[in-house]
Structure 1
Amino acid sequence: MEALSARVTIDELGTVTGWNDGAERLLGYPPEEIVGRPAVLLLAERPVPQEFPPTAGPPRWHGTLTLLHRSGRRLVARVLAHHRTAEDGSRDWLLVSAVAGTPRPDDDALLWRGVMQSPSCATSVYDTDLRYRRSSGAAQRALGLGEEEIRGLRMTDVIPTPVSEAVERRMRLALETGEPQYVENHARAPGENREHAWSVQLYRVEDPGDGRVLGVAATGHDVTDQYWARKRLQLIAAASSRIGSTLDVTRTAQELADVAVPDLADFLSVDLLTSFEEGGGAWGTGGAGVGTEGGGAGAPATAGAPLTLRRVAHQSVLPGVPEAVLALGDVDAYPEGSPPVESLRSGRGLYRRVFPAALPPWVAGDPLRTARIRDFGFHSVMAVPLSARGTTLGVVVLARHRRPDPFEDDDLVLAEELAARAAICIDNARRYTRARGTAVTLQRSLLPQRLPEQSAVEVASRYLPAGARAGVGGDWFDVIPLSGARVALVVGDVVGHGIHASATMGRLRTAVRTLADIDLPPDELLTHLDDLVARLATEAEAAENETAGDVGATCLYAVYDPVSRRCALARAGHPLPALVSPDGRVELLDLPAGPPLGLGGLPFESVEFDLPEGSVLALYTDGLLDSRSRRTDPSAEDAGTGTRAGTRAGTRAGTSDGGEDGDDGDDGVALLCSSLARPAASLDDLCDTVLGGMLPQRPADDVALLVARTRGLDASRVAIWDVQPDPAAVAETRKNVIACLESWGLTDAAFVTELIVSELVTNAIRHAEPPVQLRLIHDRALICEVSDASGTAPHMRRARTYDEGGRGLLLVAQLTERWGTRPGTRGGKTIWAEQNVGK
């Protein structure tokens, strides 16, 4: 469409930079003759300074100029000038003048028809060329111009914005099709000092006699109140879905800031009371006068004293949050009279106007805050306390510097609603953080603080609690030295999360160590442990403890003998262990699955493997494999309770892959094997490699990992004798032992060892069944073992004054560090005793 308005652009130096066809029609100059020349050449006479648009004045000027036509004639034109700023920061003037700006006979008819066909509101009528012809008083007030200034101009001439361009397109559509159009926008009109929401209806105006199209009318309804009401409802809805997505204090606070900016504020900060860091861990309850659970919130600090707050979140409409005077995590003291302190003292929200020329005393004494207020033009501030369940947590401060409207009562109501929702979520996160911290502390205190010294294996371990959403679970591991220089390796996983799971884990770990101390084989140990878990589940059901949840567990128990280099393993619904051979090959050891602990009635089976010296055995919990399949869905865990596979319902019973199903399990096992195959300087490095390659930053489930590199005991440190079932053989046995000790350089231990051997061998010959065998092992301790075919285990008793026997085992117990008995590998039993003789 041909432009009907004269449009000219002039830079800050007064040079013509733009010239359209309307300008050529008005003054006769083609663009090539005028662009680049001083604009003063177009003036027939210079205007008085009061009428000339100032260079640094308001964004718009209008008035009458006497212009000089190319032919030399003078003409008077009404000019509307816009002072504009481009995206690159450069500024220029846009001058527009109506080519057809004089009244026409049908203007009154246009206005009459337009007003008669529209509600009573801001109305403007345009001709078929979309030029202003008439407008109502409300429309003129909104534009800040009278009819004489805008008649003959298009809307894009009066308001040169993208909003006007969109409205003009709808006007053209209404004019061409006859169908009414509707436009809603939110902007500040030139004649208004604040933004308004307008509901604009556009419709074609026709002559009722002959149906001739006269133009188009625009009626605008001020729907600012409805607009903000809808925006507030949308903001509250967004807050319901976006705030509190995690049980993390700082993230929840940041979600509040992200929701409120920019819809409510240009800048927002969330500061929490530092008193929550005192005692009981970060963000724990406490602090004088903060308020107690179930009671009213009191004064956060002594009246008149500064209030110490920690910045945990902030957000801004400007990238990088340049308005902030504190970095995240910094602590600052707010003086008396500041909005945060006033809000926390009263327990209510408040808003204040800010005038850079007259700053309040609490700001004037802070040069940094003073500079921020003046640099960014802060003009309105609002503070709302964060309170939940009678406890004051902190304060939210909102400010405006880009939006011209100051905060009002409705804004305060909305801010208090958002703060109340966020406070509940922050308090939930705080409570959960405290409970989780307690569970983590309990969990770690129940795990081995340091692995015991032993010679059978070199070990390294890792324990990672689950992310905040899942909560701490009941994963554990243990390394238990056994008799005969052997060692037990244990990894287990209790169903559920939280303190109950940690406590159950502690009970099971203690039970395993007790059962290991009597040297039960792996399958028998798991059978006893299964009975214990079943009893615990029965007790929980009888107590009707709703918070306890299901009681169940999985476990893998392995016993490695460095003398024979054999390892016996059994599992109860636990993932298969991985073995890395000395040549670097990785495989999963094929063990019978066994049901999870607590089901009862099903047997466990142990399997023995020959492990070459230098083999690496990796034991782990299912969190190491499950975390990859749950990497993209952390919400799969119920925070603080947990509903993982392996409950008493037996969901993992009989699964040969340890609870992994489908491709996810296969992928996890493959990644585990590839991680174990990577070269590592030490077992600690190997643990870090496995965890780094398999786990997300915050695993969805607890992870326990135990790796052990096998060692072999040199044959020269083991001596074995078959003892004839004749009391006379005891003397020969003592001679053999003394000779062996001399070859080991342990002559200092000869006397005690001779007594121990005499007692144990004599008892075996007298009270047991052949064959009888004696074995000496020189490890970290000197170990004496006597094996026989009898299944009857001896026990120590107190001999009476005239008893002839009963003092042998008492003597052995007093002369040794420890002693005991265990079932034999092929039936019978073995009695053993250890002396601390150094390595």
Structure 2
Amino acid sequence: MEGDARRERTLETCPEAMRVACEALAASPLAILVLDDDLRVTECNEAAHHLLAGTDPAGKVITDVLPLRDPETETSGARDVRHSGVASLNRLVRTHPTPRRGPRTLCLSLFPLPPGQEGSGLICTIADITPETADTGTDPLRRLAAIQGEVGETLDHDTTCAELADALVPGAADTVVIALAEHMTQGDPPPLTPHDAEPLCPIACSGAPEGGQVWPLDQRPFAPLLAAHTPRATDTEADPGWLDAEPALKRLLRAAGAHALLAAPIMREGTVLGLLLLYRGQTPGPFSDEDIALVEKVCGYTARCLDHASRFHREHTIALAIQHSLLPRQPPTGAALDIADLRLPGEESGGGWFDVMPLSGARTGLAVGQVTGFGVRTATTMGELRTAGRSLATLDLQPGELLARLSRTTATLARDRSAAQRESGRLRAGCTYAEWDPLSCEVTVARAGGPEVLVVRPDRTIDTVGTPEGPSLGGPAEPIPSVTVAVPPESLLILHTPGLTDDPAEVPGLLRRALERVPDSDGVDARALCDELSALLTSHPRTIEAQVLVCRVMAFPRERVATLALPDGPQAAEAARACCEQHLRVWGLDEEVRFNGQLIVSEFAGNAVRHGTPPARLRLILDQALTIEVSDTGGNAPLLRHAQEGDEGGRGLFIVSQLADRWGTRYESGGGKTIWAEVDPPEKRDGGEG
């Protein structure tokens, strides 16, 4: 701190030091540009002018003066630096070739200027570190190595084709065009039709003359070489035979301003994947045998890259289809919950999931998880974990206990997978589980390697629940803590996977920006917030997919809840029946539901008196189904058994299981237990709603 202050005082109080510093920056061999908040260049030194080949960058956006291969990513990164105030150092970026220069590798750094000062924005420094091996001369091996070093950096068809086109210009040709077979562009397997019957789609072009046509409207001239699987070169002067037979090709060369053409099929295991066209206009002479041999090797290498990209694309598509089929079609809603979900795709997709599970007592379980990896196996593993979590939720476990059991299930899956496929890698997964209780307006959260749950309060302030992070799923067998907090009605609970942002600390800021775009009305609509998050993040490239679950929570209507403290004695069942009959009539439930409800409360109340520990309490809840609960402070749960003909008892819970659509036992966090049953209305049983 003292050193920083000393330097600031030196520059402020010593004009000579400031002058020397400015002169040093101006004369630096490192290109230095000053950018404003809109990323427009306001100042630059002489080295920057030289790097930009004499172009005046003043007033232009940085991505307009530098032909970057991925301008969207660099623009997003620059804005992140401006918003976060954290410098980005020594990023390697690639450029497209220009008429004057070939593709370059640049080392780019961004530094934020202090806020509140004139000219605030960013300082951008650029160093050209293009390898000297780019100048490969006439050595075929060096030329091939240089081209291969430029191609195949991603598993994307379009990017691979663009990289190849840029790598061949201007060293091998003045203009390069790459077209792919239609099945490649659509991610389909190769067709069974002849190669000349499948259309070719131009994907990438480099060095095209302005206004010049470089792709034929008629592809018939290339059918023979595609069928023969061999490249062919022609020159307007030395080899006019092919051109005389194909006037359309001759017109194309003239339109492209070229005197020589080299066409080569891109093949993989006997299948045509595409076509490579190289034109020479300014470069004298035809294509030599050495050029043809080099292009054949380049096409072979490119075919492998494209084949890998196709396999990845097909597996990616299958994994997404599996993932989509294993996720909830439509999250359930109730009287106390409004839910919206958002999926943001990434390069690694298939492992994210969410779930919304109705629980007893009008509660709702919310889960968001992520399996590390991508592809079909990751998607199926995700489906297994989601199914296991949903099954555990039906046991009415506390969130921490549920995740602990899910972690043991994950470890078992990992062992089975390793044994079957002889892999030693550990299955890595994380999950955040929350349980919303609309009667107490409390949420209980546990985390097993998952992000924190955020709460957006009605006044739009953002808090976290404050849940300690437990070990990831499949990790050490340690207790996973749970935290229960009160949440005001009309708040939003936000659960998400780690891929939402690169830095978890950025998530609240992202939510604030999204909330600013949501209309200020009575509460924040969950769907509207998801839409704004999508608008903010869709253009931002991400490696890992993200799942977001937004839940607007509400208090349960009090007029649809009834409670009664049960007396300790034989009169408990009578009091429970009377309470049930009274409230079910007020709620307008039909005679069948009322009759079944009275039988159930009689059995529950009798069990509480005979086997429970007082005090006991009856609670009736009317949501999408009628819920009947009897709680006591004892810890012994009733056990359903099938009574024999000579048994005098043991039939009560069997009768309950026949009358109720769902029933079970849950242990309360504060001690005691609750026996519950749910009875659906007749229209739901008959296949109506729900």
In 1, Cα distance between equivalents of 2:467 and 2:670? 21
Per the TM alignment, residue 319 of structure 1 is displaced from its structure 2 partner at its CA by 3.4
5 Å-filtered alignment, 1:335-484, equals 335=220, 338=221, 340-354=222-236, 360=243, 363-364=246-247, 371-467=251-347, 471-472=348-349, 474-484=351-361
Query: What residue is the counterpart of 1:577 in the other structure?
Result: 453
**Alpha-carbon distance between aligned partners in 1 of 2:325 and 2:255, rounded to the nearest angstrom:** 53
- The match for 2:59 is none
Q: Determine the C-alpha separation between the residues in 2 that align with 1:554 and 1:264.
A: 50
Distance 2:281 2:172 in 1: 12
| Counterpart selection for 1:699 from 525, 535, 542 | 542
Identify the residue that residue 775 of structure 1 maps to in structure 2.
619
| Structure 2 SS opposite 1:496 | coil
**Which residue does 2:439 correspond to in 1?**
563
The Cα shift of 1:512 comes to 0.7
Local SS of the residue matching 2:246: helix
Q: Contact 1:786/1:832 (CA < 8 Å) preserved in 2?
A: yes
* Contact in 1 for aligned 2:369/2:430 (Cα 8 Å): yes
Find the partner of 1:505 among 382, 387, 400. Answer: 382
Name the amino acid aligned to 1:414.
L
CA distance in 2, matches of 1:324, 1:738: 81
User: What secondary structure sits across from 1:775 in the alignment?
Assistant: strand
Contact 2:496 2:546 in 1 (8 A): yes
Match of 1:828 in 2: 672
Matched, 1:526 2:403: yes
Could you give the per-residue CA deviations for residues 70-108 of structure 1, whole angstroms, max 9, x where no partner exists? xxxxxxxxxxxxxxxxxxxxxxxxxxxxxxxxxxxxxxx
Tell me the equivalent position of 1:237.
145
Task: Quote how far apart the aligned CAs of 1:688 are.
Answer: 3.2
- Residue of structure 2 in register with 1:137 after alignment: none
1:791 pairs with 2:635 = yes
SS across alignment from 1:513 = helix
Counterpart of 1:482, as a letter, is L
Question: Structure 1 residues 404-413 or 244-253, which shifts more?
Answer: 404-413
Q: Using the alignment, how far apart are the partners of 1:617 and 1:561 within structure 2? A: 12
Amino acid at match of 1:254: A
Matched letter for residue 234 of structure 2: R
CA distance in 2, matches of 1:244, 1:349: 22
Q: Answer yes or no: is 1:600 the counterpart of 2:476.
A: yes
Q: Secondary structure at the match of 2:373?
A: strand
The 5 Å alignment of 1:742-821 reads 742-748=585-591, 749-821=593-665
Specify the alignment match of 2:203 in structure 1: 312
Aligned equivalents of 1:325 and 1:675: distance in 2? 48
Post-superposition Cα deviations, 1:641-673, rounded to whole Å, max 9, x if no partner, equal: xxxxxxxxxxxxxxxxxxxxxxx554x245235
CA contact (8 A) 1:575 1:620 kept: yes
2 CA distance for matches of 1:426 and 1:679?
A: 41
Q: 1:674 aligns with which of 508, 512, 522?
A: 512
Paired residues of 1:456 and 1:560 also in contact (CA < 8 A):
no
- Could you say which residue in structure 2 is the equivalent of 1:286? 190
Corresponding residue SS for 1:497: coil
Q: 1:725 to 1:418 in 2, by over 3 A?
A: same
Using the TM superposition, give the Cα deviation of residue 819 of structure 1 relative to its aligned residue in structure 2, in angstroms.
Answer: 1.7
Q: 1:359: Cα distance to partner?
A: 7.3
Does structure 2 retain, via aligned residues, the 8 Å contact 1:475–1:704? yes
- Larger of the two Rg values belongs to structure: 1
Q: Is the 8 A contact 2:572 2:605 kept in 1?
A: no
**Corresponding residue for residue 261 of structure 1:** 169
Bigger proportion of residues as helix: 2
Determine which of 466, 469, 493 is the counterpart of 2:370. Answer: 493
Q: In the alignment, is residue 733 of structure 1 matched against residue 573 of structure 2?
A: no
Counterpart Cα distance in 1 of 2:479 and 2:256? 75
Structure 1 CA distance for aligned equivalents of residues 279 and 476 of structure 2:
64
Tell me if structure 2 keeps the 8 A contact 1:261–1:317. Answer: no
1:322 to 205, 213, 223: 213
1:246 to partner: Cα distance: 1.0
SS at match of 1:437: helix
Which SS does the other structure have where 1:716 is aligned? helix
* TM-aligned CA deviation for residue 585 of structure 1: 0.8
Q: 1 CA distance for matches of 2:533 and 2:171? A: 46
1:357-405 Cα shifts (integer Å, max 9, x gaps): 98757634x5xx6644444454432221212345432221223344442
Q: Check 1:266–1:432 CA distance in 2 against 1; reply closer, same or farther (3 A cut).
A: same
Q: Which moved more, 1:480-489 or 1:378-387?
A: 378-387
The TM-score normalised by the length of structure 2 is 0.73
Give the aligned length: 542
The superposition leaves residues 726-748 of structure 1 with CA deviations (integer Å, 9 ceiling, x where unpaired) of 22332232122211122222253
Instruction: Find the aligned partners of 1:807 and 1:580 in 2 and give their Cα distance.
Output: 49
Q: CA deviation at 1:565?
A: 0.8
1:599 CA drift (Å): 2.3
How many angstroms does 1:772 deviate by? 1.8
Moved more, 525-534 or 386-395: 386-395
Shift of residue 544, structure 1, vs aligned partner? 5.9
Structure 1 residues 819, 808: CA separation in 2 closer, same or farther (over 3 Å shift)? same
Q: Does 1:553 pair with 2:553? A: no
Q: Does 1:621 align with 2:497?
A: yes
Unaligned runs of 5+ in 1: 1-226, 290-299, 327-331, 627-663
User: Aligned match of 2:465 in 578, 589, 601?
Assistant: 589
Shift of 1:233: 5.2
CA contact (8 A) 1:440 1:465 kept: no
Gaps of 5+ in 2: 1-134, 520-524, 684-688
Cα distance change on mapping 1:556 and 1:377 into 2, 3 Å: closer
CA distance in 1: counterparts of 2:245 and 2:626, whole angstroms: 77
Which structure carries more relative contact order (alpha carbon 8 Å, separation 6+)? 2
- Post-superposition Cα deviations, 1:277-326, rounded to whole Å, max 9, x if no partner, equal 6xxxx33433227xxxxxxxxxx44xxx6443222223334136533346
Q: Call closer, same or farther: CA 1:611–1:255 in 2, change over 3 Å.
A: same
Cα 1:288–1:362 change in 2 (3 A) is: farther
Change (3 A) 1:758 1:528: same
The answer to whether the 8 Å contact 2:368/2:495 transfers is: yes
Relative to structure 1, the CA distance from residue 323 to residue 271 in structure 2 (aligned partners, 3 Å threshold; closer, same or farther) is closer
Aligned-residue CA RMSD (Å): 2.8
Evaluate the alpha carbon distance shift between residue 236 and residue 562 of structure 1 in structure 2; reply closer, same or farther with a 3 A threshold: same
The one-letter code matched in structure 2 to 1:319 is E
Matching residue's letter, 2:165? A
Give, as a single letter, the amino acid of the residue that structure 2 aligns with 1:407: F
Amino acid at match of 1:504: T
Q: 1:358 to 1:752 in 2, by over 3 A?
A: same
CA deviation after TM superposition for structure 1 residue 482, in Å: 0.6
What is the identity, as a one-letter code, of the residue corresponding to 1:489?
Answer: L
Q: Is 1:713 equivalent to 2:539 in the alignment?
A: no
Task: State the secondary structure of the residue aligned to 2:422.
Answer: coil
Alpha-carbon displacement from aligned partner over 1:547-573 (angstroms, at most 9, x marks no partner):
x73212221111001111111111123
- How far apart, in 1, do the equivalents of 2:144 and 2:464 lie? 53
| Counterpart residue number, 1:89 | none
Aligned positions of 1:144-223 closer than 5 A: none
